[in-house]
Structures are given as C-alpha cells and as structure tokens.
Amino acid sequence: MNRYRPRTFVLELLMVAAGVLFLFPVYALVTLSLKDPAQTAKSPLALPKPPTLDNYTQAWSSASLGGALLSSTLITVVSLVLLIVIGSCAAYWVARTGTRLGYGLYILFLLGIVLPFQLGMIPLYNLFSRLDLIGGYQSIILFYTGIQLPFTVFLYTGFIRALPQEYAAAALVDGASHLQAYTRIVFPLLRPITGTVLILNAVFIWNDFFTPLLYLAGSDKETVPVRIFAFVGQYVSDYGLVFAGLVLGAIPILVVFLVLQRYVIKGFASGLKG
C-alpha cells in the first residue's frame, strides 16, 4: 500500500479537485481585493483586469495596519505565553494529582468550554472598569488567557494522561523538586501538544474582533480586525479595502500554521488517547 499505483493517481486527482473547490472562496477573496469598486460592481468574481494594488496600499496606510499588527502580535504572543505556561501547569496537576479534586477541577474547566461568553460579558467589563484596566493591554490579555484556558487545559490534560509517568517519577525519586521535574522533563515532552495549543489559540485571538473593540476602541492599541472593520459601514462598505486588509492580516497566522503544521497534527495524535 506504499506504492504509487493507478488507484493512488485517481485519488490524487479527486483530492486535487476537492482542493480546487475549497479554494474557490479564497480565489474570490483575492480577486475582490485586487479590484476597484467599479470593477467589483461589474463582475465581482471574474479575474481582475487590470489588477490594482491600490486596495493594499490604501488599507496599509489609512487603516494604519503597521501599528495594528504590532498590537495584535503583542496581545496574541503574551496571551499565548500565559496560556501555555499556566494552562500546561494546571493540566499537569489535574492529570497527575490522582485525587477526586483533580477530576472535579477538570470538569470545572470543561464547563468553561460550554458557557456562552455573552453570559459574563457585561459583569466582566464592569469588573475591569472598576479596576481601571480598560484601554490597556492588561485587560484584553487577561481576558484571552481566561477565556481560552478551558480549551487549553482540556488539550493538555488529554495529552499528559497519555504520557508515561516514569520519567518524572524517577527524577522526583532522585531528589528533584516538582518544578525541576516539570520544566526539565515534562514540559519538553509536551512540545507537540504545545504546537496544537499555540496554533488554535493564536487563530482565535488573532481574529477576534469584538473584544478588542470593546476593550481597546478609542485607544491607540487597536488590533488588525478592528482597523479593518472600520471600513464596513451600514451605507458604504469598502470591501476591496476590507478584503485586502484581511489578506494582509491572515498572512502572519498562515505562516505560523505552515511552520507548526506537523506539530499540530502530532499534538492531536498523541492527545487523543486521553
């Protein structure tokens, strides 16, 4: 079954066809971003002729995407670090404590996946407001860390449960502290699932539009989606510009995925046994 046979060729053709079908909306996205409004009106999904990069230059300058990319990167990166550090530690405890409380906490964290975020949105905003954290990076980073913790703990716990316990146990017997055992032995073993956690949380945080609007609007810390959405009006929407901004904003996250792709899959693979 490892050889490339005629049947494999037929499968290859089928899969490529599926790929082309999948790319149709992506093609629409790119074509629309390369047209001026008159061209879009005349034939929205035909090939642009002539293609224009005006939308890109305009999106870059009038949405000040440079600064927004910096804000987005900062928020995403710091939230991810926090999520990975405290999420993996918590999962380690949950998976290894061997007490009823461990299971109880696991269920408590899982509850966070099912709660609609609208339920606590206003009280949380008021809390941040009382603490005078609105308009700064702290509030939004804390928000993402909290809101994505359940999913992160869920992924890490499944993975850790499938790991053999012996290495860490041996280190402990040799007199290492729990922290040493964790940082030197356990965390390096978590690499694949960390890749998964990283990409899935990054996608969510990078694309989230509403929270940064709520927490950061009217500050100089707006993120990429907020800047792009400023062009979606009730009356006049500049979709060429919006889609160009979208393409620019999606590139960093796609690059991260391409780099981490195999990790993501491996991370899931090893975590499924949990």
| Interaction residues for another protein, span 199-258 (CB under 8 A) | 203, 206-207, 209-210, 213-214, 217-222, 225-226, 229-237, 239, 242-243, 246, 249-250, 253-254, 257-258
Does 47 sit near another protein (CB under 8 A)? no
Contact (CB, 8 A) for 87 and 152: yes
Does 136 sit near another protein (CB under 8 A)? yes
Distance CA 77, CA 71 (A): 10
Name the nearest CA neighbour of 28 among 246, 236, 227, 209.
Answer: 246
Among 52, 58, 138, 180, binds another protein (CB under 8 A): 138
Maximal CA-CA distance, the chain? 74
Tokens representing 119 are: 């339920």
Given the complex with another protein, which of 53 and 259 has the nearer CB atom?
259
Does 48 sit near another protein (CB under 8 A)? no
Tokens representing 116 are: 């609609």
Closest distance to another protein from the beta carbon of 261 (Å):
7
CB atoms within 10 A of CB 100: 8
Which residues between 149 and 208 bind another protein (CB under 8 A)?
A: 149-150, 153, 165, 168-169, 172, 178, 182, 188, 191, 195, 203, 206-207
Does 50 sit near another protein (CB under 8 A)? no
Tokens representing 193 are: 């699932």
